[in-house]
Amino acid sequence: MQTTEIVNFFSKLIEKELGILYEDHNLYQLQSRLEEVMKALSVPDLPSLYKDAQTNNPRFKKQILIDIATNNETSFFRDPRVFRSLERVMTELIASCEKNGEKLKIWSVASSTGQEPLSIAMLLEGILPGKVLSKGYQIYCTDISERVIERAKNALYSELEVQRGLNDQQLAKYFRKEGEKWRAQSLLTTKLTYEKQNLLEEFRNRESFNMILCRNVLIYQKIEKKKEILSRISKALVPGGYLLLGAGESLIGLSNDFEQEVIDGAVFYRKKR
- Domain edges within the chain: 3-69, 80-271
Question: What is residue 2's predicted lDDT score, i.e. its pLDDT?
Answer: 86
Question: What is residue 29's predicted lDDT score, i.e. its pLDDT?
Answer: 81
Question: What is residue 159's predicted lDDT score, i.e. its pLDDT?
Answer: 95
Angle separating helix axes 146-154 and 62-69, nearest 10 degrees: 70
pLDDT exceeds cutoff 70 at 12: yes
Query: Per-residue pLDDT tens for 98-108?
Result: 999 999 999 99
Query: Per-residue pLDDT tens for 106-130?
Result: 999 999 999 999 999 999 999 999 8
| Phi then psi dihedrals of residue 182, to 5 deg | -130, 130
Determine the CATH number of domain 80-271: 3.40.50.150
| Mean model confidence pLDDT for the chain | 92
Q: Which helix (H) or strand (E) covers residue 11, if one does?
A: helix 3-18
pLDDT exceeds cutoff 70 at 71: no
Distance CA 239, CA 216 (A): 23
Q: Are strands 175-178 and 137-143 parallel, antiparallel or unpaired?
A: unpaired
pLDDT exceeds cutoff 70 at 36: yes
Smallest CA-to-CA distance from 101 within 133, 67, 139 is with 133
pLDDT exceeds cutoff 70 at 9: yes
To the nearest whole percent, how much of the chain has pLDDT over 70? 99
Distance CA 106, CA 128 (A): 15
To the nearest whole percent, how much of the chain has pLDDT over 90? 66
Determine the CATH number of domain 3-69: 1.10.155
Mean pLDDT of 7-22: 85
| Phi then psi dihedrals of residue 70, to 5 deg | -85, 150
Residues recorded for the chain:
273
Mean pLDDT of 211-237: 93
Q: Residue 40 contacts by C-beta under 8 Å, 6 or more apart in sequence?
A: 64, 68
Local confidence band at 18 (pLDDT 50, 70, 90 cut-offs):
confident
Local confidence band at 248 (pLDDT 50, 70, 90 cut-offs):
confident
Distance CA 117, CA 193 (A): 10
Query: Per-residue pLDDT tens for 187-223?
Result: 999 999 999 999 988 898 778 999 999 998 898 888 9
SS3 266: strand
Distance CA 197, CA 112 (A): 12
Query: Per-residue pLDDT tens for 147-179?
Result: 899 999 999 999 999 999 999 999 999 999 999
Q: Are strands 266-271 and 237-245 parallel, antiparallel or unpaired?
A: antiparallel
Distance CA 182, CA 191 (A): 18
SS3 60: coil
Query: Which is higher by pLDDT, 258 or 26?
Result: 258
